[in-house]
Amino acid sequence: MEQPYIHILDPYPQQAPEQNRLHPFYDFVREGKLTTTRCKKCGTLPWPPRVVCPQCMSDELEWAEMPREGTIYTFTAQEAGLPPGYALPTIFALIDLPNGVRLLSVIEESELSEIKSGATVEFIVKHVPNDRVMPAFRIKR
Ligand SMILES: [Zn+2]
């Protein structure tokens, strides 16, 4: 029988409020929303979310929802060294969203033969150990 993975350290520390001011991102993921921050001063929509605007250095940012669908630009497979909760191989893809953001995400719940450049993908919530969630995408059906 396979032994359970024993967590001495939190494998997802970025989700803990005491570790990261951007932890609400993961609360939104849990609600099924993909978000980033928008600068209230200049309107810049950086990805990933920031605490300071990379354009004008303002710290007045608000949470903004992102499109839930995108297109695979390119992808690769990782076959070792993944955190708990990820199967081998895990597919990582660069995904173009219709608002101009290109992000890196894992592709889940999809057949390897379906994963190709130009394929349409949709946002999903991936549940990982320690009651954590991570953003992911799957091939749109
Ligand atoms: Zn700004």
Residue boundaries of the structural domains of the chain: 12-66, 67-141
Q: Which CATH architecture has domain 67-141?
A: Beta Barrel (2.40)
- Over residues 87-103, the pLDDT tens digits come to 889 999 999 999 999 99
Q: Mean of the pLDDT values across residues 49-67? A: 97
pTM of the model: 0.87
* Ligand 1 ion local residues (Cβ < 5 A): 39, 41-42, 44, 53, 55-56, 58
CA of 122 to the centre of ligand 1 (A): 28
CA 3 to centroid of chain Cα atoms = 28
Nearest C-alpha neighbor of 38 from the set 63, 58, 57, 21: 63
- Over residues 27-54, the pLDDT tens digits come to 999 999 999 999 999 999 999 999 999 9
CA of 54 to the centre of ligand 1 (A): 7
